[in-house]
């Protein structure tokens, strides 16, 4: 109990929240059992520390012990990390506030931001971090549970050869804000705002095309004839819209409403839209000439 309490206390202190949500999860093997799969608790630090012996009893009874800050907070959990990924985080300015080894060779890291993040920004940050360090993107959101150090990982697939479950080990618990925190969150905030604007543009143009009975770009995106080739889809839509008198500025805005970051920076993205419009104009002009000749 002394070792368990010491590991848990260090992790709780490093996370730095005032109130925590604790989840005690036990998969329901017996379908007739009335025992709930998840026992949720919301405790301040004092109550949480005073409940460690009860948590240990529940852990011995087959429950996994999870923890997360209550409400919006300044932490992001990155799950399912390798030791190489954890090392890379430290070298690149993303030093975790907490690292736990949840089973041999498998790690979770909590990164502490310089500010409390609203839910949408917290989820976007967690997803960006998971993508950057090859973590579990399915576990990346603003309020995901992480394991509490000092207790055993009761997941069946983690049972060891000797029949025992591995302890969740506390590797580091500095509680520090990572070095790239401000720059990283600013970039995530910018990307999030850009996506919001893109969604607004998509909604506007979708409604506009509905009012004029013209097909919107979504009709082309869902058309199996294009095989999911976004470049062909953008060109086909541009040809369709320009040939029906839709202003070039609006056609370009619709094409640019999707994520074009894979094309490069904003200048390269704008160049892609311009090239698509030029090709579309050329096709429309050629078709017009052919029709006149007939």
Rounded to an integer, the average pLDDT of 24-46 is 83
DSSP 247-294: -HHHHHHHHTTS--GGG-SHHHHHHHHHHHHHHHHHHHHHHHHHHHH-
Predicted TM-score of the model (pTM): 0.73
Which residue segments constitute the domains of the chain, with CATH numbers given? 2-179 (3.30.70.1790), 184-293 (1.10.1240)
| 197 confidence band (pLDDT: 50, 70, 90) | confident
At residue 148, does pLDDT exceed 70? yes
* Tokens describing residue 268: 């390269």
Report how far residue 162's alpha carbon sits from residue 288's, in angstroms, rounded to the nearest whole number.
78
Contact 107, 82 (CB under 8 A): yes
The mean-pLDDT minimum among 90-104, 129-143, 168-182, 209-223 falls in 209-223
| 13 confidence band (pLDDT: 50, 70, 90) | very high
Mean of per-residue pLDDT scores for the chain: 91
CA end-to-end span of the chain, whole Å? 90
Residue 88: how many other CB atoms lie within 10 Å: 15
Q: Residue 158: its pLDDT value, please? A: 81
Q: Residue 19: its pLDDT value, please? A: 98
Share of the chain above pLDDT 90, in %: 66
Rounded to an integer, the average pLDDT of 47-51 is 96
86 secondary structure, DSSP code: H
Report how far residue 294's alpha carbon sits from residue 292's, in angstroms, rounded to the nearest whole number.
5
Short-list 219, 261, 212, 262, CA closest to 237? 219
At residue 33, does pLDDT exceed 80? no
pLDDT digits 0-9 by tens, 218-263: 889 899 999 889 999 999 999 999 998 888 988 898 888 788 888 8
């Amino acid at each position: 109990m002394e070792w368990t309490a010491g590991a848990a206390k260090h992790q709780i202190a490093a996370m730095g929240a005032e109130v925590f949500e604790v989840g005690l999860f036990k998969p329901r093997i017996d379908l007739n059992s009335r025992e709930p799969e998840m026992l949720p608790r919301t405790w301040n630090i004092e109550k949480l520390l005073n409940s460690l012996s009860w948590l240990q009893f529940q852990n011995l009874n087959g429950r996994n012990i999870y923890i997360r800050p209550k409400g919006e907070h300044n932490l992001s959990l990155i799950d399912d990390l390798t030791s190489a990924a954890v090392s890379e985080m430290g070298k690149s300015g993303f030093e975790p506030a907490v690292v736990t080894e949840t089973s041999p060779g498998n790690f979770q890291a909590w990164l502490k931001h310089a500010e409390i993040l609203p839910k949408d920004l917290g989820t976007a940050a967690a997803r960006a971090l998971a993508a950057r360090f090859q973590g579990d993107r399915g576990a990346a959101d603003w309020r995901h549970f992480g394991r509490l150090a000092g207790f055993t990982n009761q997941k069946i697939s983690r049972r060891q050869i000797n029949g025992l479950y591995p302890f969740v080990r506390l590797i580091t618990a500095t509680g520090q804000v990572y070095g790239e925190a401000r720059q990283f969150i600013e970039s995530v905030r910018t990307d999030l705002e850009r996506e919001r604007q893109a969604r607004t543009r998509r909604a506007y143009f979708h409604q506009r095309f509905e009012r004029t009975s013209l097909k919107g770009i979504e009709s082309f995106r869902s058309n199996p004839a294009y095989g999911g080739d976004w470049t062909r889809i953008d060109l086909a839509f541009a040809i369709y819209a320009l040939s029906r008198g839709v202003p070039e500025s609006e056609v370009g805005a619709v094409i640019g409403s999707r994520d074009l970051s894979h094309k490069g920076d904003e200048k390269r993205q704008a160049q892609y839209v311009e090239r698509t419009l030029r090709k579309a104009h050329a096709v429309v002009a050629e078709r017009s000439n052919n029709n006149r000749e007939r």
